[in-house]
Amino acid sequence: MKSALSNVNGWLGGIVGLLKTVIVFFVFAGILWPTGINAIGGIMSLISTFIGGGLAGLLALVVFVSFMD
């Protein structure tokens, strides 16, 4: 069981790392060249959704960001 959880954790860590890299790439690409993907607007929309939830949304955003480390 411990081996299976370690394996899943490794896969999820790799996927999250890849997603972070893709997001950073699209943010910088959006700054340098006009693209059809608005990564900065998507991030701002996500954060405004959390903040629109009041204190509970703000706490959820803090928990969400703590998982990103």
Model confidence over 32-65: pLDDT tens digits? 887 777 777 877 888 888 888 888 888 888 887 7
Say whether pLDDT at 69 is over 70.
no
- Tokens 């910088």 — which residue? 28
Domain boundaries, the chain: 2-67
- For 1-66, what is the HEC assignment? CHHHHHHHHHHHHHHHHHHHHHHHHHHHHHHHCCCCCCHHHHHHHHHHHHHCCHHHHHHHHHHHHH
Give the per-residue pLDDT at 7: 84
